[in-house]
């Protein structure tokens, strides 16, 4: 149970402001060797073909979330957490989740989460990946490359759009 999102939203605004003061870096798709992907747990299995094609020559690590109280156990390339279980009363991620999240170095972070979930926005902003890609939201300028999407848009379509734009940017 989360009492209030006030404090985490305040920290998100502070992180966005500090991020705006720094120079943005972009990692071309061809140079991205380690990619961290954040998505809903039930969407990963639906994306297997696209992810397999994208993985050529890259190390992919998945952090997936679920709204269920019980989350599946982690594997070598995947960590799943529960939004109900891993957030404190103020909506902040637990220390264990933050340690797991920050332990993965990545050249590129792709956030496929949809909706305005403050804990996920906080995780993305706190990660040190030089290039962050995601779905544009109302909160602010979180990503280096953001795509516009409707709520409930197919995650396969969104992922393919992100890859298309990354390949187009590499080509030019």
Residues 6+ apart with CB under 8 A from 126: 15, 98, 101, 102
Q: How far apart are the first and last CA of the chain?
A: 48
In a domain, 38, yes or no: yes
Q: Which residue has the higher pLDDT, 77 or 101?
A: 101
Q: How many residues does the chain have?
A: 172
* Residues 155, 112 contacting (CB under 8 angstroms): yes
User: 40: domain CATH number?
Assistant: 3.40.50
Give the closest residue to 61 by CA, choosing from 80, 38, 41, 36.
Answer: 36
Q: Rounded distance, CA 134 to CA 146, Å?
A: 5
Report the pLDDT value the prediction gives residue 20, as an integer from 0 to 100: 73
Report the pLDDT value the prediction gives residue 101, as an integer from 0 to 100: 92
Report the pLDDT value the prediction gives residue 60, as an integer from 0 to 100: 92
Domain that holds residue 128: 6-171
Residues 6+ apart with CB under 8 A from 114: 40, 135, 149, 151, 152, 153, 155
In a domain, 1, yes or no: no
> Domain total for the chain?
1
Give the closest residue to 31 by CA, choosing from 8, 50, 54, 57.
Answer: 57
pLDDT digits (tens, 9 = 90+) for 147-165: 988 877 889 999 999 999 9
pLDDT digits (tens, 9 = 90+) for 41-92: 888 888 888 888 899 889 999 998 988 776 556 666 788 888 888 989 899 9
In a domain, 152, yes or no: yes
In a domain, 52, yes or no: yes
Coil, strand or helix at 31: helix
The number of beta carbons lying within 10 Å of the beta carbon of residue 149 is: 18
- The average pLDDT across 108-117 equals 90
In a domain, 27, yes or no: yes
**Res 3 pLDDT > 90:** no
What is the model's pTM?
Answer: 0.90
Q: pLDDT-based confidence at 8, cuts 50/70/90?
A: very high
């Amino acid at each position: 149970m989360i009492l209030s999102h006030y404090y985490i939203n305040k920290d998100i605004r502070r992180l966005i402001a500090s991020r705006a003061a720094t120079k943005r870096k972009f990692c071309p798709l061809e140079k991205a060797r380690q990619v961290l992907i954040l998505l809903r747990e039930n969407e990963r299995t639906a994306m297997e073909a696209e992810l397999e094609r994208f993985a050529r020559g890259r190390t992919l690590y998945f952090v997936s979330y679920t709204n269920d109280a019980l989350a599946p156990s982690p594997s070598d390339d995947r960590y799943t957490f529960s939004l109900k279980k891993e957030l404190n009363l103020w909506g902040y991620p637990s220390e264990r989740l933050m340690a797991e999240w920050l332990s993965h170095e990545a050249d590129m972070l792709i956030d496929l989460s949809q909706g305005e979930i403050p804990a996920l926005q906080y995780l993305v902003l706190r990660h040190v990946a030089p290039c962050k890609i995601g779905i544009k939201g109302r909160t602010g300028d979180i990503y280096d490359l953001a795509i516009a999407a409707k709520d409930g848009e197919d995650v396969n379509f969104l992922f393919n759009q992100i890859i298309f734009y990354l390949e187009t940017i590499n080509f030019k």
